[in-house]
Each structure stands twice: as structure tokens, then as C-alpha cells.
Structure 1
Amino acid sequence: MVLIEAWFMDDSDTDQRMPHKRNPNEPVSLEELKKLGVFHWKLDADIYEADPALEKIRKDRGYAYSDIITIHKDKLPNYEDKLKMFFEEHLHLDDEIRYILDGSAYFDVRDSEDRWIRISMAKGDMITLPAGIYHRFTLTETNYTKAMRLFVGEPVWKAYNRPADEFEIRKRYLKSLPVTGGIE
């Protein structure tokens, strides 16, 4: 079973919902993602309301708050504007935790050399992006996902578009990277 699929993105500016794999494809391993502070779990989304594995993760990591968002043109007010906002490169002062309950989506993150890595998310995938990492989100060609958003404490929705290097959390994130001479 493949836990997660990730790859370095091509430089094409075609539809953001396309896979954007390089030719030949340059996969990124789960180990490489972990070095960036990105963590992944594969869970059973069909039992999310009573899943002991999800409860253990929530307890161990302090994910006290959650809600569910459906991203589809018929379900999300201001759908087009929201998609544009989600795809704008940004960071958060807190971790971003998402659990895909249905559908599919992509998270794009920057590596230590400022290259985009695309992470394919499908039903049952849960991901944590560390505070301070530049990232963005988009749907796949299916144009639909249903996701649980989790937070440590009260939800914080504020995104800081790039450049946001002045934040202490960004500086701490860069120092945490194993590659010397990270992004300045």
C-alpha cells in the first residue's frame, strides 16, 4: 500500500488542478517530507467519527478542535474566490492539519531549496504541515473534497502570504531544516 504520493512539480502554468509532474517524474519520499516537518497518516475515513486511531493522534498531538469543510462549487460560498485564496502561497503561525474524508486534493509545499513539492491527498489521508512552511492548497480535476480541519486549541484561520519571512515562526522553521543554508 502506498502511504502517500508526492513529487517535484514542473514549471507549467497550466490549470493548477493538474498533477504537474516533471518528465520524467521526480518522486519525493515520505522520509523527505518528514525532514521538512510534514507528517502523514493513512486512516479509515469511513469510521472517522469513532476511529480509535484518529482519537489517539488527536490526544497525542493535542488536536482539540475540529470542523468539516466541503470544497465544491455547490457547497462552498464564494467557491472561486476561496480556491484562489487557498492557492496563494502562504504560511501560518500554527500547524495546518487536514484529514481528507472524501474526494481528493493537493497540498504544495516548498523544500529547503525553494522547489515546489506536490502532495496528492485522497480519502483517508491526514497531513500536518508545520507552522512557518510556505504552502498552498488546490483541488484535483475532480473539483471536490471533504476535509476535517484540526487545531491545537481554538482555530486560527489567518494566513500570511509570501513574503512573510519576518515572522519568528518562519525563522524557527528554517533553522529546523536539516539542509544548511536553507531559504533566506
Structure 2
Amino acid sequence: MRAFYFDNIPGDQRLLHDSGNPVSDEILKSAGVLHWHIPTSQQYQIDAVAEKRNYKNRDTITITKQSLGDLYEAKLKNFYEEHMHEDEEIRYILEGSGFFDVREHPTDSWIRCHLNAGDLLVLPAGIYHRFTLDENNMIKAMRLFKDEPKWTPINRDSSTDANPYRVDYLKSIAVN
């Protein structure tokens, strides 16, 4: 995985949008973002991560024009809306590639994380983020869950900063 600040230049969301300013692992960790590279030939290691982090369920999602058909454009637009979840978002990339953008606090800058096959990303509950494919237009990912599989986005608006999961997230990343 490679992380960098998003360049904020208008245009296709699937382009790299690399500002030329890399983001270190320390900055990602300070935002609560965790990541590992586990080669897809060693997927059994995912079981160890799942056990350690108490992930009980998983499924697989494939995002392509072929797999989503007429819903493709609407789904991509929905995934790219800035949102948060009340659960961790865990993705292990099996094939293809894409971008997860996360908001840095307190600057509100976008950090773009480019994921490829073998990358495992954990976003904490309460972090603002969005997802899009890259120019390859294909990703197959394993989604891991602590409880029953669910994906409930809470789009950012004037009320989301008061959401208890957002408040807890901000407390968890506060510098003491």
C-alpha cells in the first residue's frame, strides 16, 4: 500500500491524484489506520489477524462493470460519498486495486491509500473516508466483520460530528 496526500485537482476520481507528498506509517497510525501486506498466496495469515482482532465473519465483494451491471455507476458514486461507519471497515484485497481516501484530523486533508492485491486495511469506526476504483476498474476484496456482516454508511453532514462513534474516534486519536 502506498499513501499520499490527495491533490484536490478536479477530474476523474479513479486517477492517481498524487500531490507528491507521501504519508508515513506514523501519520496513518496516528489517524488510527492500520495496514499490512499479506501475499494472496498466504491468505491463511488472514485467519491469524482475524482471530487476534476478533473478526468473526467475512465475505467477498467484486466491483466491476460486469459484476454490478446497471448499478455500477450508482455504486461507485455511493462509495465515493464521504462517510463513516459505526464499525471498523476491514478490507483485504484479493485481486485488482483501488483507493481508500481518509480524512486527516484536524486538517481535514484527504489521505489517499492505494491498495493492491495482498493489502489489508483497517479503518477505525468514526473515521471519515470514501472509496473508489482506480483506472483498472476492478477490485475483489474480502470484507471482515467483528459481528454479522453489515455495511451501513453514515454520510457526513452537519450532525455526524456529534455521532458517538465519531466522538469516540476523535478521543482515541487525541494527542495527550
Normalised to the residue count of structure 1, the TM-score between the two structures is 0.90
CA distance in 2, matches of 1:76, 1:98: 19
**Residue in 2 aligned with 1:111?**
104
Residues 48-91 of structure 1: CA distance to partner in whole angstroms, max 9, x if unpaired? 2xx1x211100000111100011000012411111000000000
Residue in structure 1 matching 2:165, options 165, 169, 175: 169
| Letter of the 1:92 counterpart | H
Partner SS, residue 84 of structure 1: helix
- Aligned residue for 1:127? 121
In the other structure, the counterpart of 2:28 is 33
Answering whether residue 59 of structure 2 is matched by residue 67 of structure 1, we say yes
Deviation, 1:166, is 2.0
> What percent of counterpart residues are identical?
49
- Structure 2 residue 92 is the aligned partner of structure 1 residue 95: no
Question: Is there any run of 5+ residues in structure 2 with no aligned partner, and where?
Answer: none
Structure 1 residues without counterparts, runs of 5 or longer: none
Cα distance in 1 for partners of 2:36, 2:17 equals: 23
Q: Tell me the amino acid that sits aligned with residue 169 of structure 1.
A: Y
The one-letter code sitting in structure 1 at the alignment partner of 2:125 is A
Instruction: Give the letter aligned to residue 2 of structure 2.
Output: E
Give the distance between the partners of 1:81 and 1:47, measured in 2 at CA.
Answer: 34
**How many Å separate the matches in 2 of 1:126 and 1:6?**
13
Q: By how many angstroms is 1:44 displaced? A: 1.7
- How many Å separate the matches in 2 of 1:81 and 1:7? 27
- Partner letter of residue 6 of structure 2? M
Q: Kindly tell me the number of residue pairs found equivalent between the two proteins.
A: 172
SS at the partner of 1:117? strand
SS at match of 2:47: helix
**Deviation readout 1:82-120 (Å, 9 max, x if unpaired):** 100000000000000000000000000000110000000
